[in-house]
């Protein structure tokens, strides 16, 4: 599969790393990540994006989900958090007036995840089911989520 977008799933201290968004009157959360650049692998993309937007060093552990969104394929990787602390960086997302909204890198307690507007909803539901089945390591085979 050719993924155009790569996202990460990082669970640390019973919390999920997410990007909080406030845009066009909506309040929601997304999995961290972004678009794959030319001559870049998904693994390189997710490592770059987490450093650029969250200020943390990560290592891809395994690809667990594929998801189609607006005719593009997204890859979801389980990531290991190696170092750094989550904070807004100098990335374009945090510059005033960029991308029509606010960005806030944060973490959500897994016990509160069901009540949060985490997108995509299909991945959130699958993640919650997989945490119950496989635990927080999410040691499962790849699944294309619909």
How much of the chain exceeds pLDDT 70, in percent? 95
In which residue are the tokens 């945090």 written? 94
Q: Looking at residue 63, what is its pLDDT?
A: 98
Q: How far is CA 1 from the centre of its chain?
A: 19
Residue 29's domain spans which residues? Answer: 5-145
Q: Looking at residue 91, what is its pLDDT?
A: 73
Domain count, the chain: 1
Residue 43 has pLDDT above 70, yes or no: yes
Domain of residue 100, CATH code: 3.90.79.10
Q: How far is CA 143 from the centre of its chain?
A: 16
Residues forming a β-bridge with 84: 56
Nearest CA-CA partner of 111 in 85, 94, 132, 139:
132
Q: Looking at residue 61, what is its pLDDT?
A: 97
């Amino acid at each position: 599969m050719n993924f155009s977008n790569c996202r990460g799933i990082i669970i640390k201290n019973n919390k999920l790393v997410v990007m909080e968004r406030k845009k066009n009157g909506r309040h929601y959360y997304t999995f961290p990540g972004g678009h794959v650049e030319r001559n870049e692998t998904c693994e390189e993309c997710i490592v770059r994006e987490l450093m650029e937007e969250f200020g943390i060093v990560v290592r891809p552990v395994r690809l667990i989900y594929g998801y189609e969104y607006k005719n593009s394929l997204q890859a979801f990787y389980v990531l290991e958090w190696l170092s750094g602390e989550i904070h807004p960086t100098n990335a374009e997302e945090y510059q005033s007036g960029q991308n029509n909204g606010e960005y806030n890198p944060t973490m959500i307690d897994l016990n509160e995840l069901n009540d949060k507007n985490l997108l995509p909803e299909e991945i959130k539901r699958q993640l919650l089911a997989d945490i119950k089945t496989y635990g927080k390591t999410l040691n499962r085979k790849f699944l294309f989520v619909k």
